[in-house]
Amino acid sequence: MEYFLEQVLNGLQLGLMYALIALGYTMVYGIIQLINFAHGDVFMVGAFLGYFGFAVWGLPLPAAILLAMVACAALGVTIERVAYRPLRYAPKIAALISAIGVSLFLEYFSSLKFVFGPNYRVVPRPFAEVNWKIAGLTVTNIQVIVFVVVVAMLVLLQFLIYRTKIGMAMRTVAVDHNAARLMGVNVDNVISFTFAIGSAFAALGGILYALAYPQIHPFMGIMPGLKAFTAAVLGGIGIIPGAVLGALIMGQVETLTAAYVSSQLRDAIAFAILILVLLFRPKGLLGRTETEKV
């Protein structure tokens, strides 16, 4: 029983990190109907920049995190500007191919010796891992940090989208670019802003991930990226609460599979979910089944 509950806690930690990444996929999809396949790689860049800031350049941890988030926001905005905007009203497949190109570019460019280098790096712990025994359960300080940070970000995002002017503009751009333009919304700026937020969240996710699983490398974004994408699809792509729900489910399924079935199956089960959702409920758990607006 305790073992089970500890696995659930581990799954929650993983799911919350997936949620942070999944939000970026789902927000971008909601606003320009594009799967940003480079998103997992922005997560990777975030982890590396956090590592460099803290472990190599000797910045205080909060400064290193902020630096990584701001730099990744700029990276996300640049990716959209260079690789997606010129193709915005072209057939969807063009932007999708472009996204895959950006993803591969980020992975192999990061692998170059004078960038991050091709090797695994061990991330030094900025603080010791502490275990607490609560009612017979072991809870780590890392789990608590992940929980607090991700929940704070979710609250912040909710506030941004439902209580601010730019958030309201984002909701209108998600419905109809031209109708938003007629209100005076600069649609390009709103899209850039969406990429900035999503990418900053991915960077934060990367740093939390490196904190929990302290090893980083240039291809580390692929798996969490694909799983967060699966989470977004599972919850209903374009729907923000869906991304969180999907991510929490993915975290549990993956952790419990590893604990009770086989740790070799953890990835396979994640993608089996993706296939099943696409086959039987392509709109996702929270998606409405009405036909999509073209």
**Crossing angle, helix 222-235 and helix 2-32, to 10 degrees?**
80
In the complex with another protein, the residue whose CB is nearer, 129 or 176, is 176
In the bound complex, what is the minimum distance in angstroms from residue 29's beta carbon to another protein? 15
Six-digit token string for 148: 């607090």
In the bound complex, what is the minimum distance in angstroms from residue 12's beta carbon to another protein? 30
Taking the alpha carbons of 230, 236, 237, 239 in that order, is the dihedral positive or negative? negative
For every residue of 239-261, DSSP letters joined together read: -HHHHHHHHHHHHHHHHHIIIII
Judged by CB under 8 A, which stretch of 98-106, 165-173, 216-224, 284-292 contacts another protein? 165-173
Contact 120, 126 (CB under 8 A): no
Judged by CB under 8 A, which stretch of 10-18, 179-187, 196-204, 214-222 contacts another protein? 179-187
Applying CB under 8 A, what is the total number of residues that bind another protein? 18
Which residue is listed with tokens 């974004």?
A: 221
210 binds another protein (CB under 8 A): no
8-state DSSP, 132: E
The residue from 169, 191, 258, 273 that contacts another protein (CB under 8 A) is 169
Contact 212, 20 (CB under 8 A): no
Phi, psi of 112 (to 5 degrees): -65, 150
In the bound complex, what is the minimum distance in angstroms from residue 179's beta carbon to another protein? 4
170 binds another protein (CB under 8 A): no
Site for another protein in 31-60 (CB under 8 A): none
Phi, psi of 136 (to 5 degrees): 80, -5
CA distances to 31, 53, 75, 253, 290 from 69, in Å: 21, 11, 10, 29, 37
164 binds another protein (CB under 8 A): no
In the bound complex, what is the minimum distance in angstroms from residue 191's beta carbon to another protein? 13
In the complex with another protein, the residue whose CB is nearer, 187 or 200, is 187
Judged by CB under 8 A, which stretch of 8-16, 175-183, 241-249, 255-263 contacts another protein? 175-183
The residue from 179, 223, 261, 278 that contacts another protein (CB under 8 A) is 179
Residues in contact with another protein, shown as a per-residue x/- string from 101 to 120 under the rule CB under 8 A: --------------------
Contact 64, 50 (CB under 8 A): yes
Site for another protein in 182-201 (CB under 8 A): 182-187
Q: Binding residues for another protein, per CB under 8 A? A: 165, 168-169, 171-172, 174-176, 178-187
